[in-house]
């Protein structure tokens, strides 16, 4: 990052090109982009970039690709607002603005030697996919690896083919559940929290990583605490409005912390008190 010395404006984007674009669900697209000045600085699982659709605006998008391939910047985007919609409509070769990577990611160093329980909801699987790539690439460094994934319906399962191929491995437990299903679905039905009491892990040696809609994370954390995990073993990734991503614009405050600079990944005990307050 050229701006660590403060000489470069942290608000000015670099240019990047869409290399690949793939549909990953209703309104969900995965964009792989390459920075033009391509110094693949790498990123940590859980970090995010600020992507600009020129003439429309800029939004934070988490990195969802393999951290072992730093030149391929992969972002999974749901078209929900004007900027995300504009981004998902860009095709290969088109230009986007890129700032980042930003933020504090998942506690990768701390995971070594532990069982890792990943609880993801909906699009929340995207910022956890880099963790899965890393865990599976260095599988021997970790204990048991469990992925519990919940989403709305079978049609909305993110990275479906990849989940199926990981499922064939014997060194990771994967359970997928959906909130609603018609008769042709033979998997779990029920919210993702129902998978937690059924999963097998040793609460004394497990670190849990949780990402999804805030309500889902609240209930997942309650279920993990009920299962015996201490607050210091629970990590979650927070979503907030962000304009600058470097702690200057004030938008992403959650009580005493800035989601962009101090997070987006937080150990639960740091947010326990503020998350208990509505509309904080």
Partner 1 sequence: MEIEGLERILREHSFFAGLGDAFLALVSGCARNVRFEAGHYLFHEGEPANEFYLLRHGRVALELHAPGRGPITFQTLGEGEIVGVSWLIPPYRWAYDARALTLVRAIGVDAACLRQKCEADHDLGYEMMKRVTSVLIQRLQTTRLQILDVYGTHG
Partner 2 sequence: METSGTVVITLEGLESLIGLLKRRGYRVIGPTVRDQAIIYDEIAALAELPRGWTDEQQGGLYRLVPRDDDAVFGYAVGPHSWKKFLHPPTELLWTAERTEKGLRVTPAPLPDERFAFIGVRGCDLHAIAIQDRVLTHGGKIDPHYRARREALFIVAVNCAVAGATCFCVSMQTGPKATGAYDLALTELGREEDHRFVVEAGSEAGRVVLAELPHRAATEKDIAEAEAVVSATAANMGRSMRSDDLHELLLRNLNHPRWDEVAARCLTCGNCTMVCPTCFCTTVEDATDLAGHRISRSQRWDSCFTMDFSFIHGGSVRASPRSRYRQWMTHKLATWQDQFGTMGCVGCGRCITWCPVGIDITEEVAAIRDSEQH
Which parts of this chain interact with partner 2 (CB under 8 A)?
3-4, 6-15, 52, 54-58, 78, 80-81, 84, 95, 97, 239-241, 243-244, 246-251, 253, 255-258, 261, 273, 277-280
Beta-carbon contacts of residue 130 (< 8 Å; ≥ 6 apart) = 43, 44, 45, 46, 63, 64, 65, 66, 67, 105
130 makes contact, choosing from partner 2, partner 1, none, with CB < 5 to 8 Å by partner type, with none
Residue with tokens 């990768």: 108
User: Quick one: what does residue 219 bind among partner 2, partner 1, none, with the CB cut-off 5 to 8 Å set by partner type?
Assistant: partner 1
Judged by beta carbon, residue 163 or residue 181, the one nearer partner 1 is 181
**Cis amide prior to 101 (ω within 30 degrees):** yes
DSSP state letter for 160: H
- Strand (E) or helix (H) holding 261: none
Min separation Cβ 59 and partner 2, Å: 10
Minimum distance, C-beta of residue 275 to partner 2, in the bound complex (Å): 11
Q: Is the dihedral of CA 40, 46, 80, 21 positive or negative?
A: positive
Structure-token pair, residue 150:
């919940």
Q: How far is the CB of 79 from partner 1 (least distance, A)?
A: 9
- For residue 54, the partner it binds in partner 2, partner 1, none, with Cβ less than 5 to 8 A by kind, is partner 2
Contact predicate 135/142, CB 8 Å:
yes
Q: Which is nearer to partner 2, 148 or 246 (CB)?
A: 246
Q: Which is nearer to partner 2, 56 or 227 (CB)?
A: 56
In whole angstroms, how close is the CB of 78 to partner 1 at the nearest point?
7
> What does 115 interact with, of partner 1, partner 2, none (CB < 5 to 8 A by kind)?
none
Residue 259 beta carbon to partner 2: minimum distance, rounded to whole angstroms = 10
- Give me 104's structure tokens: 């504090």
Residues ≥6 apart with Cβ < 8 Å to 222: 193
182 binds, among partner 1, partner 2, none (CB under 5 to 8 A by kind): partner 1
Q: Which is nearer to partner 1, 23 or 139 (CB)?
A: 23
End-to-end CA distance of the chain: 32
How many other β-carbons are positioned within 10 Å of the β-carbon of residue 79? Answer: 16
Q: How do beta strands 57-62 and 265-267 pair?
A: unpaired
Q: φ and ψ at 188, to 5 degrees?
A: -70, 145
Instruction: For the CB of residue 172, give the shortest distance to partner 2 in the complex, in Å.
Output: 30
Distance of closest approach, residue 16 Cβ to partner 2, in angstroms: 11
Question: Which of residues 75 and 114 has its CB atom nearest to partner 1 in the complex?
Answer: 75
- Cβ atoms of 95 and 52 within 8 Å: the answer is no
- Judged by beta carbon, residue 43 or residue 133, the one nearer partner 2 is 43
Residues forming contacts to partner 1 in the complex (CB under 8 A) are 27, 78, 80, 121-123, 150-152, 156, 177, 179-183, 185-191, 193-194, 198, 212-213, 215-216, 219
Distance CA 237, CA 133 (A): 18
């Amino acid at each position: 990052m050229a701006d660590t010395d403060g000489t470069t404006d942290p608000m000015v984007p670099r240019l990047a090109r869409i290399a690949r674009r793939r549909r990953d669900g209703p309104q969900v697209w995965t964009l792989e982009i390459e920075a033009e000045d391509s110094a693949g600085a790498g990123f940590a699982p859980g970090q995010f970039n600020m992507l600009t659709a020129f003439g429309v605006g800029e939004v934070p998008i988490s990195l969802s690709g393999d951290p072992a391939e730093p030149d391929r910047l992969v972002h999974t985007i749901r078209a929900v607002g004007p900027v995300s919609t504009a981004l998902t409509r860009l095709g290969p070769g088109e230009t986007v603005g890129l700032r980042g990577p930003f933020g504090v990611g998942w506690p990768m160093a701390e995971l070594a030697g532990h069982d890792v329980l990943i609880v993801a909801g909906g699009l929340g699987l995207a910022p956890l996919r880099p963790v899965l790539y890393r865990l599976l690439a260095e599988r021997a460094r970790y204990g048991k690896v469990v992925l519990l994934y919940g989403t709305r319906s079978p049609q909305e399962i993110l990275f479906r083919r990849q989940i199926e191929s990981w499922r064939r491995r014997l060194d990771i437990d994967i359970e997928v559940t959906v909130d609603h299903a018609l008769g042709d679905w033979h998997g779990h039905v029920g919210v993702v929290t129902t998978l937690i009491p059924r999963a097998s892990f040793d609460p004394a040696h497990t670190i849990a990583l949780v990402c999804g809609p805030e309500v889902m994370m609240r209930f997942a954390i309650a279920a993990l605490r009920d299962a015996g995990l201490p607050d210091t073993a629970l990590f979650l990734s927070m979503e907030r409005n962000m304009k600058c991503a470097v702690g200057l614009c004030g938008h992403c405050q959650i009580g005493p912390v800035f989601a962009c600079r101090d997070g987006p990944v937080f150990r639960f005990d740091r947010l326990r008190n503020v998350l208990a307050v509505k509309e904080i």
